[in-house]
Amino acid sequence: MKALALALLLSLPVPKLTPPANLNLAPAQQPARKKGGRWYFAATGHAVYCYGPVMTLPQPDGLLKVATFCRGDQPMVPLKD
């Protein structure tokens, strides 16, 4: 019985492993990162990281400084002076 099982096992075809055709050794490109971000102190008392410029917006009671394009999909965050 063992001889039959061994003969059956040895009669099976052996697949040949071939290396991939296009072997690219260059490092994978990483997605573009936003550069030039900076930490600011928001009017709410929290620190926020923003990528855009600081702008001064006119308000009925004076001027308001805001940081633009902040992390967390916030277009503008009022800053504490």
pLDDT digit string, tens, across residues 20-50: 676 566 666 656 665 779 999 999 999 999 9
Residue 15 within a domain: no
What's the pLDDT at 36? 78
Please count the structural domains in the chain: 1
Residue 16 within a domain: no
Mean of the per-residue pLDDT values for the chain? 82
Residue 13 within a domain: no
Q: Is 66 exposed, middle or buried (0-12, 13-18, 19+ CB in 10 A)?
A: buried
Tell me the pTM: 0.53
Residue 77 within a domain: yes
Q: Report d(CA 70, CA 31) in Å as an integer.
A: 19
* Lowest-confidence region among 9-13, 45-49, 61-65: 9-13
Residue 16: CA count within 13 A, CB half-sphere? 2
Measuring CA to CA, how many Å separate 64 from each of 25, 32, 80? Answer: 52, 32, 9
Domain residue limits at 40:
36-81
What's the pLDDT at 9? 73
Residue 76 within a domain: yes
